[in-house]
């Protein structure tokens, strides 16, 4: 079979030619059965997706997720590369602690897993981690889950990261503005008596960090943006030449606080914000202000997510449903093209984070509809606000470095 028989191959000028991947892979006898089945015009092929923001919870919290279960879930969602956040135990703030995670990755991961190292010791914001000692093994530096509160500490981190040729990846949140909130400070919170998280808690720290990035010249990436003010700040920063990129998640592009229910599966940080915020995020996707889509896949146990909006843990899962959500709500509706979605999910993350493309791809039936059933997830986490939603797009195979890592 030739690549011509594979209909609707999705490519981009930034992606190495996929034809050679297929030719090489088809010579592998282990591929023969899958491609024999998929030799119809009903299937589409994408470069392997790359998610720069996931929580695989190991070491330290393997009851929530492991490298094995998280990477298997990623492969099922068409991902062949992910970057894992450092809120672990031990926190990867030293070469020894980072090695504990690297050893598990080497043993159990079925796709490429690139770990972050923490910006500060214990993610406490008080003292820089051993950035020099971890630079060779860490994809970048982040204290995700916590904003670095002290401006001087962030300046010092940026200067050191710049010297090491590394990027600062920031969860932006001003603790003093949180007021013990747990959903967006909007209409739903007011109507139902919930404590809200104001948008300024996000954009104020982004504003501070953009000034520091301009001052230091450090490459800077903003995690999971959710507020319209943040979009505007980053748009202006790019126009002024600051080396900044950002991500948002599928849930922020599809849902808003009017979709909230009294259920822990709607609780994430940052929270679902207003319709106006969602519209600004979509505009940012369309005009290139937002560079990539990342899931912030954050699994918890069923017990931790069964305590309502106020008391459940922050975080939802999403790595198995990201492409169907984005295809259904952004591509089928004509908001963006399929090639634009490929850039957001596969190309731009790898280019910005300097990650290899490899002989990676995934095979999909985009016209196949299904209803989201969390019990079918390979992830240990089952909490998703999209439970019961009808989506289009099912992954039938994922190939990483020429090897089959997922087959439906």
Tell me 48's DSSP state.
Answer: P
Give me the phi and psi of 293, to 5 degrees please. -105, 125
The Cα 73–Cα 259 span in angstroms is 26
Give me the phi and psi of 28, to 5 degrees please. -85, 120
Measured in whole angstroms, the distance separating CA 142 from the mean position of its chain's CA atoms is: 14
Q: Which of 51, 296, 367, 373 is catalytic?
A: 296
Rg (alpha carbons) of the chain, rounded to whole number: 20
The Cα 382–Cα 341 span in angstroms is 25
296 is catalytic: yes
Peptide bond into 269 cis (omega under 30): no
SS3 168: strand
Give me the phi and psi of 52, to 5 degrees please. -90, 10
Q: What's the token pair of residue 310? A: 């106020």
Per the CB < 8 A criterion, the answer to whether 280 and 224 are in contact is no
Catalytic sites, residue numbers = 296
């Amino acid at each position: 079979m030739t690549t011509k028989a594979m209909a609707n191959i999705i490519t981009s000028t930034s992606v190495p030619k996929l034809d050679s991947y297929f030719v090489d892979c088809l010579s592998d006898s282990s591929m023969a059965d899958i491609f024999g089945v998929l030799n119809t015009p009903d299937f589409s092929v994408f470069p392997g997706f790359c998610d720069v923001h996931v929580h695989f919870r190991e070491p330290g919290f393997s009851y929530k997720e492991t490298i094995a279960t998280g990477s298997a879930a990623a492969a099922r969602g068409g991902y062949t590369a992910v970057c894992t956040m450092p809120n672990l135990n031990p926190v990867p703030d030293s070469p020894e602690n980072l090695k504990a995670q690297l050893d598990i990755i080497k043993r159990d991961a079925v796709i490429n897993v690139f770990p972050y190292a923490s910006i500060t010791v214990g993610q406490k914001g008080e003292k820089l981690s051993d950035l020099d000692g971890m630079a060779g093994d860490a994809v970048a530096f982040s204290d995700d889950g916590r904003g670095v509160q002290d401006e001087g500490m962030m300046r010092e981190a940026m200067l050191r990261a710049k010297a090491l040729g590394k990027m600062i990846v920031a969860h932006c949140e001003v603790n003093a503005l949180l007021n013990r909130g747990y959903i967006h400070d909007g209409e739903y919170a007011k109507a139902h008596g919930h404590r809200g998280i104001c948008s300024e808690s996000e954009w104020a720290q982004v504003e501070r960090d953009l000034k520091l990035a301009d001052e230091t010249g450090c490459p800077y990436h903003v995690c999971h943006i959710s507020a319209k003010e943040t979009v505007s700040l980053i748009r202006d920063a790019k126009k002024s030449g600051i080396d900044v990129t950002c991500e948002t998640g599928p849930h922020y592009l599809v849902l808003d606080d009017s979709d909230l229910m009294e259920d822990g599966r709607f609780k994430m940080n940052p929270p679902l914000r207003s319709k106006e915020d969602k519209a600004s995020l979509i505009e940012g996707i369309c005009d290139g202000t937002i560079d990539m889509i990342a899931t912030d896949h954050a699994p918890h146990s069923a017990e931790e997510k069964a305590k309502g909006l106020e008391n459940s843990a922050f975080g939802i899962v999403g790595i198995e449903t990201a492409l169907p959500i984005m295809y259904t709500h952004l591509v089928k509706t004509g908001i963006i093209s399929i090639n634009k979605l490929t850039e957001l999910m596969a190309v731009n993350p790898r280019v910005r984070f300097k990650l290899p493309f490899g002989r990676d791809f995934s095979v999909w039936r985009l016209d196949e509809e299904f209803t989201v059933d969390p019990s079918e997830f390979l992830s240990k986490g089952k909490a998703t606000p999209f439970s019961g939603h009808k989506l289009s797009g099912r992954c039938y195979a994922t190939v990483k470095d020429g090897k089959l890592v997922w087959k439906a």
